[in-house]
Amino acid sequence: MQGTGTRVLLVEDEARIRRLLQIALRDEGYQILEAADGQSAIAVVAADPVDVVVLDLMLPDMDGFTVCRRLRQDSDVPIIVASAKADSHDIVAGLEAGADDYVVKPVVAKELSARIRALLRRSRQEPPRPTSTTSGSLEIRPREGTVALDGRQVPLTTTEFRLIEQLAEHIGEVVTREELIEQVWGSDFLEDTRLLDVHVSRLRSKIEENPGRPRHVVTVRGVGYKLSR
């Protein structure tokens, strides 16, 4: 089965929805853990690391945005937000809180499974080359999977690292938006440019002295982005 060995944490307060997703994902071969509220989800990840978190936004003790930010303090586990909130503001807020992907309910199990596989392909890829790439005071180290700014390590999510890694592979050259989306998220995501825009914004907030006037990750209007030398 495609998901054999993969541990997925379902964070959903509605038992019926949680049960339906559990059955569907188990049929795909995933091992399922469950949490009905935010505190339980945080405790599960801290005590028993999982491969992917599927996170609802409407939880009884705290909202999913807060859960996402709390998880991101100590973990780079891939997070997929699954919510009935379809407004662009909520989607952007979810991604800015640290989620790697966002799906709108009602969730189609096959689509969710495909997105889980896409995230795992990115997070489990073998590190490419043992060399490092520098952009001014920024150093990208593919072998270690780390980024350092002025010698201090910058905490990035898996998706943020994959994004800057792709730019570093073509340092000084423009990488189109379509190329970035396909390499980081996969061809199924080519029409969803919000993923790229939000993650570039989050990346800049961590590596740029002035994110509004970036020196490292530069926008090439109408084309894409490049990592400056």
Along the 229 residues of the chain, how does pLDDT read in single tens digits? 455 578 999 999 999 999 999 998 998 889 999 999 999 999 999 998 899 999 999 999 999 999 999 999 888 899 999 988 878 788 888 888 889 899 888 888 888 888 888 888 776 655 445 478 999 999 998 878 889 999 999 998 888 998 999 999 889 999 999 999 888 887 767 667 778 888 999 999 999 999 999 999 999 988 999 999 8
HSE-CB at 150 with a 13 A cutoff on CA atoms is 4
What is the residue extent of each domain of the chain?
Answer: 7-123, 133-227
Tell me how far apart the alpha carbons of residues 181 and 163 are, in angstroms, rounded to a whole number.
9
- Is the domain spanning 133-227 CATH 3.40.50.261? The answer is no
For residue 2, the model assigns a pLDDT of: 56
| Element at 81 (helix H, strand E) | strand 79-83
CB neighbours of residue 70 within 10 Å: 19
Pairing of strands 146-149, 138-141: antiparallel
Structure tokens at 131: 């060399």
Residue type, 213: R
Give the strands of the sheet with 133-135, arranged side by side: 133-135, 138-141, 146-149, 152-153
What are 224's strand-pairing partners? Answer: 176, 220
- CB 60, CB 86: distance < 8 Å: no
For residue 129, the model assigns a pLDDT of: 52
C-alpha separations of 187 from 180, 190, 223 in Å = 10, 5, 18
For residue 125, the model assigns a pLDDT of: 57
Question: Which class is domain 7-123?
Answer: alpha beta
Phi/psi class of residue 94: alpha, beta or left (left: φ > 0; alpha: ψ in -120 to 50)? alpha
